[in-house]
């Protein structure tokens, strides 16, 4: 992954002919947060002349040479973001000249140059403050502000510090020194003629490269070579060129390829194998992400991010693979790795989309239930997230969500019981609180079918779904009931592996029929209590049929005798309930799916519609 970031940075650096200076500068514009630039102007004799205002934008980056320093100290150059005006002017802007006027790196003329500027700034400090304060007060926009230094060359010509060698000289020296020296630990860590861990070439290498926020040496146990920080270079030796490549590559990924995965941030890191096509693929990749004309509807995406790149990548079979880097930012300066999926191939994405399209097309999921005629639901990782949420009520299941997602992406086996346990945890919670479970049940069924069809669900084989289930599924007469039910079971044989599964499903269908009648007749459904919060054992389920029939007879609305007979057949065929060898979660999941697909198993004949027995 790190090599992929460095390779991306190297391409950008070479393509744009970017040198060390371009790499190390920070963006004071900060994506538009700082829109105002105040330039302290000196005349040809380095005397204070005026303070001028400019609207700030990214074009000033190399002109003002902003490089952030420590919060309590100066920045790398006399360019700083203004927080409190007087404090910034004294402790960052003027202080910079105090610290650098005697710099041994400089020539006598350069030291004299900085000393004269310092004298002028100190002499006119109060005037400076008043002039900037006045201009700040008349600006209606209260966004951020930046202060820098300029030189009046003639009446119409102003140069900024980026045009003067002395400021570049100090900036570059400090930047290189930062790779060698840690102010936090007050020590150097570098060595010469060693192998760089990125390019594998011999060079001078450094040990305090911490631009990648997930790497540091703040604990002794993280350091090789006797736990001495001066030997940190042995942990992760990085040469100057690779440090620059990593810096620009990482910055590019943060700015352009930083996406969202259901509340979890992730970086999309391309690995482009054909270097000749690097530019073309990268340009199209960004255009696909940023241009609205490329946006696809939600139904065609695998994630919740409208900038999702998967649909683009799946078509590039031979030129690209990519890494997914999932992270969290507990603090601004800390990046915690949650999961890294490396070298994901377009062919795998293509498979994920193909299976998604197949599952989305099944009648139970595309059947419209609203006026807009939209699909009931469609598969994406939001279905996974639904059963592995992060909430104050259900807890934080980010870890399991990412583990399951990784297995889907990487074609690794997934435990059926683990999935059903989490589906049932969600549904039981809603069921016990009298909340609707219908949509969650359908989503749970879709989730399991997707995994089975993807062939990552252990213990299960993919079945062949009859084309009828992509168009319309209805049972028109009593005579076709058994054949239609068997067609359903055979089409989803991977889900209904045994007659125990099939009998449990049909009991769920009959139970929902009874609950519907009770709700209509009594405005309540007391039979729900027999379901034991969807934690029924095999015995509990095996004795439901006579109880259901008895209640239907009591209401005088037993329209389902043909289905009851078919259910009895399956119960008898399933054998002793003690031998079903199904977990409580799986039995109740199948039962619950039956309840919530019950509408498809009503006989649509006129006799039944009129309320007559079949």
Residue 506 has pLDDT above 70, yes or no: yes
Q: Grade residue 457 by pLDDT with cuts at 50, 70 and 90.
A: confident
Let me know whether 15 and 38 are in one domain: no
Structure tokens that stand for 352 in this block: 């994920």
Residue 21 has pLDDT above 80, yes or no: no
**What count of residues does the chain have?**
614
Let me know whether 89 and 200 are in one domain: no
Residue 546 has pLDDT above 60, yes or no: yes
Q: What is the mean pLDDT of residues 577-594?
A: 95
Q: Classify residue 20 by burial, with Cβ atoms within 10 Å: 0-12, 13-18, 19+.
A: middle
Residue 309 lies in a domain: no
Residue 356 lies in a domain: no
Task: Please give the Cα distance from 151 to 162 (Å, whole number).
Answer: 11
Residue 56 lies in a domain: yes
Instruction: Tell me phi and psi for residue 185, to 5 degrees.
Output: -105, 0
Q: Grade residue 608 by pLDDT with cuts at 50, 70 and 90.
A: very low
How much of the chain is helix, strand and coil, in % rounded to 5?
Answer: 55, 15, 30
Let me know whether 483 and 613 are in one domain: yes
Give the count of domains, the chain.
3
Strands 181-182 and 390-391: unpaired
* pLDDT: which is higher, 401 or 293: 401
Q: Grade residue 586 by pLDDT with cuts at 50, 70 and 90.
A: very high
Let me know whether 12 and 45 are in one domain: no
Identify each DSSP E strand in 95-214 by its residue range. Answer: 144-154, 157-160, 181-182, 187-188, 190-195, 202-206
Q: Are 427 and 440 in contact (CB under 8 A)?
A: yes
Q: Are 428 and 422 in contact (CB under 8 A)?
A: no
* pLDDT: which is higher, 610 or 362: 362
Residue 446 lies in a domain: no
Q: SS3 of 79, please? A: coil
Instruction: Give the pLDDT confidence of 50-82 residue by residue, as tens digits.
Output: 999 999 998 899 999 999 988 889 999 999 999
**Kind and range of the H or E element at 40?**
strand 34-42
Residue 336 lies in a domain: no
Task: Please give the Cα distance from 349 to 357 (Å, whole number).
Answer: 12
Q: What does the pLDDT read at residue 217?
A: 57
Out of 122, 138, 172, pick the residue that ends a domain.
172
Q: Grade residue 609 by pLDDT with cuts at 50, 70 and 90.
A: very low
Let me know whether 9 and 37 are in one domain: no
Q: Which of 147, 171, 32, 29 is nearest to 87 (CA)?
A: 147
Q: What does the pLDDT read at residue 420?
A: 94
Q: What does the pLDDT read at residue 306?
A: 59
Let me know whether 156 and 207 are in one domain: no
Task: Please give the Cα distance from 496 to 324 (Å, whole number).
Answer: 35
pTM of the model: 0.74
Task: Please give the Cα distance from 13 to 463 (Å, whole number).
Answer: 51
Q: What does the pLDDT read at residue 459?
A: 57
Q: Grade residue 499 by pLDDT with cuts at 50, 70 and 90.
A: very high
**Kind and range of the H or E element at 502?**
helix 499-522
Q: Are 302 and 383 in contact (CB under 8 A)?
A: no
516: how many CB neighbours lie within 10 A of its CB? 14
Instruction: Give the pLDDT confidence of 340-399 residue by residue, as tens digits.
Output: 999 888 888 888 888 998 998 898 887 654 445 566 788 889 999 999 999 888 889 999
Instruction: Tell me phi and psi for residue 203, to 5 degrees.
Output: -170, 180
Q: Are 185 and 115 in contact (CB under 8 A)?
A: no
**Kind and range of the H or E element at 328?**
strand 320-331
Tell how many helices (H) and how many strands (E) occur in the chain.
25, 16
Question: CA dist 117 to 46, 94, 113, 124, 150, Å?
Answer: 6, 9, 7, 11, 11
Q: SS3 of 36, please? A: strand
> For the ranges 95-109, 162-176, 570-584, which has the lowest average pLDDT?
162-176
Out of 218, 246, 274, pick the residue that ends a domain.
246
Out of 246, 264, 287, pick the residue that ends a domain.
246
Q: Are 187 and 181 in contact (CB under 8 A)?
A: yes
The end-to-end CA distance of the chain, in Å, is 65
Q: Grade residue 610 by pLDDT with cuts at 50, 70 and 90.
A: very low
Strands 390-391 and 157-160: unpaired
Task: Please give the Cα distance from 332 to 533 (Å, whole number).
Answer: 44
Identify each DSSP E strand in 155-292 by its residue range. Answer: 157-160, 181-182, 187-188, 190-195, 202-206, 238-239, 258-261, 264-272
Q: What does the pLDDT read at residue 333?
A: 67
Percent share of the chain, pLDDT over 90: 47
CA Rg, the chain, in Å?
34
Let me know whether 604 and 478 are in one domain: yes
Residue 235 has pLDDT above 90, yes or no: no
Task: Please give the Cα distance from 463 to 492 (Å, whole number).
Answer: 6
**Kind and range of the H or E element at 541?**
helix 538-542
Let me know whether 37 and 122 are in one domain: yes
Residue 401 lies in a domain: no
Q: Which residues pair with 34 in a beta bridge?
A: 144
552: how many CB neighbours lie within 10 A of its CB? 20
Q: SS3 of 140, please? A: coil
Let me know whether 71 and 189 are in one domain: no
Q: SS3 of 543, please? A: coil
Q: SS3 of 545, please? A: helix
Residue 346 lies in a domain: no
Q: What does the pLDDT read at residue 429?
A: 92
Q: Are 604 and 563 in contact (CB under 8 A)?
A: no
How confident is the prediction for the chain on average, in pLDDT?
Answer: 85
Q: What is the arrangement of strands in the sheet containing 190-195, beginning at the earlier edge strand?
A: 190-195, 202-206, 238-239
Q: What does the pLDDT read at residue 614?
A: 41
Q: What does the pLDDT read at residue 210?
A: 66
Q: HSE on the CB side for 300, CA within 13 Å?
A: 11
Residue 8 has pLDDT above 90, yes or no: no
Residue 489 lies in a domain: yes
* pLDDT: which is higher, 358 or 306: 358
Domain with 549, as residue range(s), is: 474-614
Let me know whether 37 and 118 are in one domain: yes
Q: What is the mean pLDDT of residues 294-310?
A: 61
* pLDDT: which is higher, 77 or 221: 77
Let me know whether 188 and 231 are in one domain: yes
Q: What does the pLDDT read at residue 175?
A: 80
Strands 34-42 and 144-154: parallel
Q: What is the mean pLDDT of residues 554-582?
A: 93
Biggest alpha carbon–alpha carbon distance for the chain: 108
Let me know whether 194 and 158 are in one domain: no
């Amino acid at each position: 992954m790190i090599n992929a970031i460095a390779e991306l940075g190297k391409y950008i650096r070479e393509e744009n002919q970017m040198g060390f200076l371009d790499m190390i500068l920070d963006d004071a514009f900060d994506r538009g947060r700082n829109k105002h630039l105040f330039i302290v102007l000196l005349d040809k004799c380095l005397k204070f002349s005026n303070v001028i205002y400019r609207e700030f934008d990214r074009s000033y980056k190399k002109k003002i040479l902003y490089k952030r320093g420590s919060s309590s100290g100066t920045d790398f150059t006399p360019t700083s973001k203004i927080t409190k005006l007087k404090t910034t002017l004294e402790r960052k802007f003027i202080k910079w000249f105090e610290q650098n006027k005697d710099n041994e790196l400089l020539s006598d003329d350069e030291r004299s140059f900085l000393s004269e500027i310092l004298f002028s700034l100190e002499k006119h400090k109060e005037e400076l403050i008043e002039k900037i304060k006045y201009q700040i007060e008349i600006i209606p926009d209260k966004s951020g502000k930046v202060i820098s230094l300029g030189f009046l060359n003639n009446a119409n010509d102003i140069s900024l510090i980026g045009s003067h060698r002395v400021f570049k000289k100090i900036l570059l020296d400090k930047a290189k020194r930062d790779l060698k020296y840690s102010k936090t630990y007050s020590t150097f860590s570098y060595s010469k003629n060693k192998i760089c861990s990125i390019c594998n070439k011999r060079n001078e290498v450094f040990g305090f490269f911490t631009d990648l926020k997930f790497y540091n040496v703040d604990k002794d146990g993280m350091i090789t070579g006797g736990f001495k920080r001066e030997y940190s270079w042995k942990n992760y030796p990085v040469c100057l060129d690779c440090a620059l490549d990593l810096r620009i590559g990482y910055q590019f990924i943060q700015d352009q390829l930083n996406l969202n995965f259901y509340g979890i941030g992730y970086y999309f890191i391309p690995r482009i194998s054909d270097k000749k096509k690097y530019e073309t693929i990268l340009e199209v990749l960004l255009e696909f992400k940023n241009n609205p004309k490329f946006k696809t509807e939600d139904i065609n995406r695998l994630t919740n991010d409208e900038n999702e790149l998967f649909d683009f990548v799946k078509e590039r079979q031979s030129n690209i693979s990519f890494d997914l880097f999932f992270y969290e930012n507990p603090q601004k300066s800390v990046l915690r790795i949650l999961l890294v999926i490396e070298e994901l191939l377009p062919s795998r994405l293509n498979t994920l989309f193909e299976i998604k399209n197949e599952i989305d097309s099944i009648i139970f999921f595309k059947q419209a239930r609203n006026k807009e005629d939209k699909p009931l639901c469609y598969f994406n990782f939001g279905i996974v997230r639904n059963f592995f949420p992060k909430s104050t009520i259900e807890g934080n299941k980010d870890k399991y969500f990412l583990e399951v997602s990784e297995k889907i992406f990487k074609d690794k086996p997934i435990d059926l019981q683990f999935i059903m346990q989490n589906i049932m945890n969600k549904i039981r919670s809603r069921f016990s609180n009298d909340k609707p479970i219908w949509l969650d049940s359908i989503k749970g069924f879709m989730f399991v079918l997707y995994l089975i069809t993807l062939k990552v669900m252990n213990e299960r084989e993919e079945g062949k779904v009859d084309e009828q289930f992509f168009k319309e599924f209805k049972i028109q007469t009593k005579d076709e009931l058994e054949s239609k039910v068997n067609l359903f079971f055979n089409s989803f044989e991977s889900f209904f592996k045994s007659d125990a599964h099939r009998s449990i499903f049909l009991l769920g269908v009959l139970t929902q029929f009874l609950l519907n009648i009770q709700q209509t007749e009594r405005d309540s459904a007391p039979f729900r209590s027999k379901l034991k919060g969807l934690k029924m054992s095999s015995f509990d389920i095996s004795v439901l049929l006579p109880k259901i029939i008895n209640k239907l007879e009591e209401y005088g609305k037993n329209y389902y005798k043909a289905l009851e007979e078919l259910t009895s057949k399956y119960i008898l065929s399933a054998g002793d309930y003690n031998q079903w060898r199904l977990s409580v979660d799986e039995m109740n999941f199948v039962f619950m799916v039956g309840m919530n697909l019950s509408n498809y198993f009503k006989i649509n004949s006129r006799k039944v519609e009129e309320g007559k027995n079949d």
